[in-house]
Chain A
Amino acid sequence: MSTAELDPTLEPTVGDQIVHGMEHEEEDHRMFGFIVFLLSESVIFLSFFVGYIVYKTSVADWLPAGVEGLEVREPFINTVVLVSSSFVIYFAERFLHKENLWGFRAFWLLTMAMGSFFLYGQAVEWMGLPFGFTSGVFGGAFYLLTGLHGLHVLAGVLLQGIMLGRSFIPNNYQGGEYGVAATSLFWHFVDVIWIMLFILIYVWQ
């Protein structure tokens, strides 16, 4: 009790008598809060998608001069890798629930590798394109959508790196962990967004 008096900003800690059994209340709500956040986040993408559809159906000179269309083969390989990584991360989580830490780490690392491969493929595609983001509305929309999604993939890979590092703290991940579950959910979210994006940009040309 004395510590809480001294420092007003001190967080209540486990075992502190001032805490009325609320130690884990915050943790119970984190997943709910994260899902609420993701729903809101999805509206940003939805807005861009709607904007893309409006532009695609109304702008007169849609593709920049000299551009015939987008190459689909490499992006399709990328898509397959990213979508499969959603299954890989699911198995990683299953291993964690069975308290098989090395199994978790192996599959988790594989997910990170697949995410990184996607980012690499995206970068290679960007370098080879004959147009930039100032090439009309199409150029801007293409780089905006793939760039924003790429940032989300990057954030996902970084989060996965943090969660992998935390798995080496002893007794940290017994019986599952919020951070792992949230990262995994985020990864599925990024995946679903990519599928929609792929259909909009590459399939519907």
Chain B
Amino acid sequence: MSNASLEVAPQNLQPQPGAPDNWRRFFSFSTDHKVIGIQYIVTAFIFFLFGGLLAMVMRGELITPDADLVDRTVYNGLFTMHGTIMLFMWTFPMLNGLANYLVPLMIGARDMAFPRLNAAAFWLVPVFGVILTLSFFIPGGPSQSGWWAYPPVSLQNPTGNLINGQSLWLLAVALSGVSSIMGAVNIVTTIFRMRAPGMGWFKMPAFCWTVLSAQLIQLVGLPALTAGAVMLLLDLTVGTSFFEPSRGGDPILYQHFFWFYSHPAVYVIILPIFGIFSEIFPVYARKPLFGYRVVAVSSLIITGLSLIVWVHHMFASGTPGWMRMLFMITTMAISVPTGIKVFAWVATVWGGKLRLTSAMLFGLGGLSTFLFAGITGIMLASAPFDIHVNNTYFVVGHFHYVINGAVVLGFYAAIYHWFPKMTGRMLYEGLGKLHFFLTFVGINLIFLPMHPLGLLGMPRRVASYDPEFAFWNVIASLGGFLLGVSTLPFILNVLSSWTQGEKAGDNPWRAIGLEWLVSSPPPHENFDEIPVVVSPPYGYGSDEPLIENNAKELASEYS
């Protein structure tokens, strides 16, 4: 920016493409990382509501022991699409949205490394979302083989059509993979190459560390799923026999391909949530993040370990004993870096001057549900126990405590925390707290009963069950409906605050971080002058400035 233009037309700095009044840019092929971030988040949330609706139909079916609300094949389609939508259409795009919006701001960059690639990656999301949704309307309905699509079940094609639920499912998952790889290349390049001067690795916010670790998993793991999906698609369409046991194929190999990616995918989802916790707790406890360096490095350790634990999903797939033992040990080992993080968050909050805003409530709620999920996770890591509860509701309860507990609560925490930055307006605290209590109670009401149900032996993925399971199922269904209702105050809050909320100012939470130094919403290209970072993040209670004001002189020093 030349000084001349600053003096002539300073008012032109704000109503640039990033201005809040121009809503049309959200429907355009914009290359601004902030616009793309919000596009991702809103699209993902719409699919979250859709996936939630499917889950509520399932809970409606399960409120009575008989399969009376929907047909069994419809029920199969419902749980398949619920899982697929929640993972590929909600959590991944939501994470990409947050990473897109926050990473360039946090590292002091003007945009992502490849803005057009970024936009293309986003616009694939509605495309495969529509493909997935369309499969409800074709003969035979959507895929019924669960979100794992294990052969030989997924190779059944009763309609005989080339375009069937399963092939559309595979097409959508493949496109999702392309989009994710594009996003991963972009984010990894951005974090490696575009950090502001002075921002060494250990001056980078923990959120960026976790996003980097998660995207590295995408790069290494996703191609394995792509390989498996390609072979499955060939089996299904042109008649190869890779996974067809009757013609010499090996269905277990598909499970290896699938879980080699899809277990690490859990860490792709949860790692950025760890990052969100690490960002939020220091702000509202007014204390530096405890053990910042260890928290940062433990993300990379989780990345490494996550690639060698996948067989714990296959303890019951005829896996040899030595393999069970090996993967049991690695799975238990991964709880060490995770436990370090939990310890660090508790130590951060401990003795702090807590402000229980909506964001902090969601953060603490997410932490507590994650702790619970972690404990049942260690139980499941043990092969004898896992075989005992294999394919029961205990497993369903466990991973929903992770994904609907920690992840969704973490997302909400991030939205309550960064909404003022994204829109320039505050959310209503009252509605936010109502939203929190409804969500938190709803989550525990629906997913806690699944643990006793699983221990009693109720199998997952069936539309009807023995009447002895009815008690816990009714409670879970009521919790599910409460969870559905809990989104209403949130939607109301966002819509009304976005249009007429209180003005936020640059830094409403008095937080420390580069993203809080720019205006809300940030101007196009974020920074007038790229800041020079001089101290590590989370300097709460210290007098050290985060950035050097005399940017230009220092820039030459660092180069």
Contact = CB atoms under 8 A, between A and B. Distances in A.
Given A28-B193, A40-B181, A140-B242, A9 B31 contact: yes
Contact of A33 (B4, B114, B248, B528): B114
B443 interface: no
Nearest to B190: A29
B16 interface: yes
A9 B25 contact: yes
Given A26-B115, A47-B227, A144-B231, A59 B248 contact: yes
Interface stretch (A48-56, A81-89, A155-163, A181-189): A48-56
B16 A5 contact: yes
A195 interface: no
A8 B25 contact: yes
Given A32-B189, A61-B248, A20 B114 contact: no
A169 interface: no
Contacts of A47: 223-224, 226-228, 257, 260
Given A8-B22, A47-B223, A20 B525 contact: yes
4 A-B pairs with least C-beta separation: A140-B240, A47-B227, A43-B223, A8-B17
Contacts of A20: 1, 110, 525, 528-529
Interface in B80-117: 110, 113-115, 117
B389 interface: no
Given A8-B25, A41-B223, A61-B248, 16 more contacts: A1-B5, A8-B30, A17-B2, A20-B525, A20-B528, A25-B194, A32-B192, A32-B193, A33-B113, A36-B189, A43-B219, A47-B257, A136-B248, A140-B231, A140-B240, A144-B234
Given A37-B185, A54-B253, A136-B248, A144 B240 contact: yes
A55 to B, nearest CB: 7
B193 A137 contact: no
B328 interface: no
A133 B238 contact: yes
B26 to A, nearest CB: 10
A136 B250 contact: no
A39 interface: yes
A121 interface: no
Contacts of B186: 33
A53 to B, nearest CB: 11
Category for how many chain B residues contact A = 35 or more
B9 A140 contact: no
Contacts of A141: 242
Interface in B18-37: 22, 24-25, 28-32
18 contacts: A9-B17, A9-B25, A9-B28, A17-B4, A17-B5, A18-B16, A20-B529, A25-B110, A25-B194, A32-B189, A36-B184, A36-B188, A43-B219, A51-B227, A55-B253, A137-B250, A140-B234, A141-B242
Nearest to B260: A47
Contact of A40 (B1, B29, B222): B222
B249 interface: yes
A1 B7 CA distance: 13
Given A9-B25, A36-B189, A1 B228 contact: no
A5 B31 contact: no
Given A134-B238, A137-B248, A137-B249, A4 B227 contact: no
A1 B488 CA distance: 42
